[in-house]
Amino acid sequence: MSGAMLELILMATLDTLYMVGISGLVAAALGVPLGVLLYVTRPGQILARPALNGILGIVTNIGRSIPFIILMVAIIPFTRLVVGSSIGTNAAIVPLTIAAIPFVARLVEGALNEVSPGLIEAAQSMGATPYQIITKVLLPEARGGIITGLTITVVTLVSYSAMAGAVGGGGLGDLGIRYGYNRFNPVVMLITVAILVVMVQGFQSLGDTLVRKADHK
C-alpha cells in the first residue's frame, strides 16, 4: 500500500472522528434539554404542559422518521445557512446533528422515566422547585441511563457518517465506498471497516466505563 493511501486513510479517520465528535456534542447539548422537556411537561409531571408536550412529541417523531440520506439532502438550504456551504465535512455535521437531537431526546426521556416517581415526591415534600428537582434529582439519578443513551447515539453517528460522502463530507465510510467498492480495492475496504469496528468498540467501552462510575444502584 502506498504512503498516499495511508495518508488518505488517516485523514478519513480524523474526518469521521471530527464529524461524530462535533455532531455528538451539539446533539447532546440540545437533545438532553429536549429530552428533559419531553419528560417534565408530560401530563401529571412537575411542569405538566400537555399541549406543549404533544407538539414536542410530534416534532421529535418527525425528526426520527425521516431517513438520514433524505434528511441530508432536504435540509441543504439550512445547512448552507449555518456553515456557509452545502458540501464538505462541515456541511455533513449539520444533518448529522439534526438527526441525532431527537434520537438523544427520546433516549434521555426514557432514562428519566426510569427514575422512581417516589424520588420526585420526596423532593417535592422537601420544598424543591421544579428546577431543583431536574438538576438535583432527575438528572443525577438518570445519569447512567443518559450516558448509555449518548453512547448509543455516538455509535449510530459513526454509521450515519458513512453516508456523509453523499455531500462530499469525507470520512471512512466515504473512503470505503469510493476506493474499496467503486475501484475494487478490497484491502482499503477491509481497513476502513476494521477501523470503524475498533472505533465503535472504543466508544462502547468508554461509555460502559462511565456508566459504571456513574451508577450506584
Partner 1 sequence: MITLENVSKTYGSGPQAVHALKPTDLHVAQGEIYGVIGLSGAGKSTLIRCVNLLERPTTGRVVVDGQELTSLGRQALNHARHRIGMIFQHFNLLSSRTVFDNVALPLELMGVAKREIRERVQPLLDLTGLSDKHDKYPAELSGGQKQRVAIARALASRPKVLLCDEATSALDPQTTQSILDLLKDINRKLGLTILLITHEMEVVKSICHKVGLISAGKLVEEADVGDFFTSPSTRLGREFLNAFLELDPPQALIDRMEAKPGPQTHPVVRLAFTGDAVSTPLISRLARDCNVDVSILEAKVESIQDRTLGLMIAELIGPQEKTQQALAYLKSHDLQVEVLGHVRRNA
Contact positions vs partner 1 (CB under 8 A):
116, 118-119, 121-129, 132, 136-137, 140-141, 143, 214-217
CA distance 155 to 196: 10
CB of 55 to partner 1, least distance (A): 25
Secondary structure of 42-71 in the HEC alphabet? Answer: CCCCCCCCHHHHHHHHHHHHHHHHCCHHHH
Instruction: Quickly tell me which residue has 481497513 as its cell.
Output: 191
The smaller minimum CB distance to partner 1, of residues 77 and 118, is found at 118
CB of 64 to partner 1, least distance (A): 29
The smaller minimum CB distance to partner 1, of residues 3 and 44, is found at 44
Q: Which set of grid coordinates corresponds to residue 183?
A: 475501484
The smaller minimum CB distance to partner 1, of residues 46 and 199, is found at 46
CB of 116 to partner 1, least distance (A): 7
CB of 118 to partner 1, least distance (A): 4
SS3 196: helix
The smaller minimum CB distance to partner 1, of residues 67 and 140, is found at 140
Torsion of CA 33, 156, 91, 59, to 10 degrees: -40
